[in-house]
């Protein structure tokens, strides 16, 4: 019961020795013996399609497969956008089967990142709404670049949708119940200084310093003896993960039914058209 499946994942079937491995949508490198860097690289906004979510999950597992690696920095190839969250086009007039598979990939990405044996540090470069905030909150430590126009938070209600219960739980765990009520209800997007004041992030740094600060933090975590560190992470995170594992297919059904509703589709369609003003 204590050893949540996944958190102490066996590395036997995973590929070790990461050396600037580059693949579609993500770049994985190992700038130091104990720290890997996973760069999100899906232009224009690092939105999470099914394929992107699968690529990020696979890269995390690959990093975990190197026994020397103890920490992972998650960054973006775009200095102004960490991730724009879920790829909204996946939810706009979708095929039901694809929509369900998309959600399973998002669930798996959350379980993989949140449950990683690695210490994870998010180098949040720029905007990080909704699913971007999910990625950041799934990490152990969050550094965000300064600039009050950059935003992080869960803005789902503004799209006419609701965050799934497990994302709500993660938000509550991160910033507390009252602030989560305000943040979720209003679909609030926080500036870096606001996010710091509610503990949504841990540090605000200059743009040019973000990777250096994140790497330094990752090196600090990597020096902690992994046995106790991972056991502590399991204690803190397994309950939430086990609940989602048990309810995975129920959650897929809730998501599918919610997204396929006519009213939801109208809201998503209107929101998508408003983005960039181009669609």
Sheet with 152-153: strands ordered across? 128-129, 152-153, 189-190
Query: Is residue 156 among the annotated active site residues?
Result: yes
Strand partners, 71: 35, 119
Query: Is residue 148 among the annotated active site residues?
Result: no
Rounded least distance, CB 202 to ligand L434P2JQ, Å: 22
Instruction: State phi, psi for 40 to the nearest 5 degrees.
Output: -80, 130
* 16 neighbors 37 (Cβ within 8 angstroms): no
Question: Quick one: 65 or 126, whose CB is closer to ligand L434P2JQ?
Answer: 126
Residue of 6, 131, 153, 192 interacting with ligand L434P2JQ (CB under 6 A): 131
Pairwise CA distance, residues 108 & 87, whole Å: 16
Tell me the three state secondary structure of residue 37: strand
Residue from 125, 126, 155, 244 carrying the catalytic annotation: 155
40 binds ligand L434P2JQ, rule: CB under 6 A: no
Pairwise CA distance, residues 211 & 234, whole Å: 27
Residue from 40, 86, 113, 135 carrying the catalytic annotation: 86
Binding mask 183-222 for ligand L434P2JQ (x = CB under 6 A): ----------------------------------------
Pairwise CA distance, residues 39 & 207, whole Å: 16
47 binds ligand L434P2JQ, rule: CB under 6 A: yes
> Residue holding tokens 């449950």?
115
Query: Is residue 277 among the annotated active site residues?
Result: no
> Residue holding tokens 């997204």?
259
Query: Is residue 131 among the annotated active site residues?
Result: yes
Pairwise CA distance, residues 128 & 108, whole Å: 20
Residue of 18, 45, 59, 73 interacting with ligand L434P2JQ (CB under 6 A): 45
Neighbour-count burial for 118-155, b at 16+ CB within 10 Å, e otherwise = bbbbbbbbbbbbbbbbbbbbbbbbbbbbebeebbbbbb
Cα 185 → chain centroid: 21
Binding mask 61-100 for ligand L434P2JQ (x = CB under 6 A): --------------------x--xxxxxx-----------
Question: Quick one: 171 or 255, whose CB is closer to ligand L434P2JQ?
Answer: 255
Binding to ligand L434P2JQ (CB under 6 A) within 140-159 occurs at 155-156, 159
Pairwise CA distance, residues 244 & 5, whole Å: 12
Binding mask 249-278 for ligand L434P2JQ (x = CB under 6 A): -----xx--x----------------xx-x
Could you tell me the sign of the dihedral formed by the alpha carbons of 261, 267, 269, 275, in that order? negative
Among 33-41, 52-60, 128-136, 202-210, the segment contacting ligand L434P2JQ (CB under 6 A): 128-136
Among 64-72, 135-143, 161-169, 198-206, the segment contacting ligand L434P2JQ (CB under 6 A): 161-169
User: Site residues (CB under 6 A) for ligand L434P2JQ?
Assistant: 44-45, 47, 81, 84-89, 127, 129-131, 155-156, 159, 161-162, 164, 254-255, 258, 275-276, 278-279
Active site residues: 86, 131, 155-156
């Amino acid at each position: 019961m204590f050893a949540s499946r996944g958190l102490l994942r066996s590395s036997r079937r995973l590929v070790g020795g990461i050396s600037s491995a580059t693949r579609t949508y993500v770049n994985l490198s190992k700038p130091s013996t104990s720290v890997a860097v996973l760069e999100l690289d899906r232009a224009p906004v690092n939105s999470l399609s099914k394929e992107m979510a699968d690529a990020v999950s696979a890269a995390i597992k690959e990093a975990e497969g190197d026994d020397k690696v103890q920490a992972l920095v998650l960054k973006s190839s775009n200095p102004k956008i960490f991730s724009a969250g879920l790829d909204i086009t996946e939810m706009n007039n979708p095929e039901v089967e694809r929509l369900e598979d998309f959600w399973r990939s998002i669930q798996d990405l959350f379980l993989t990142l949140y449950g990683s044996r690695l210490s994870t540090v998010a180098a949040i470069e720029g905007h990080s709404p909704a699913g971007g905030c999910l990625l950041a909150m799934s990490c152990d430590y969050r550094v965000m670049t300064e600039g009050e126009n950059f935003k992080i938070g869960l803005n789902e209600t503004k799209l006419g949708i609701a965050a799934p219960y497990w994302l709500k739980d993660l938000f509550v765990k991160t910033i507390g119940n009252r602030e989560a009520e305000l943040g979720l209800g209003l679909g609030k997007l926080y500036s870096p200084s606001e996010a710091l004041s509610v503990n949504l992030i841990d540090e605000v740094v200059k743009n040019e310093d973000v990777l250096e600060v994140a790497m330094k933090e990752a090196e600090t975590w990597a020096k902690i003896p992994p046995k106790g560190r991972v056991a502590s992470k399991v204690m803190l995170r397994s309950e939430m993960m086990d609940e989602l594992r048990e309810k995975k297919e129920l959650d897929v059904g809730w998501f599918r039914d919610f997204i396929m509703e006519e009213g939801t589709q109208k809201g998503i369609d209107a929101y998508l058209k408003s983005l960039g003003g181009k669609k």
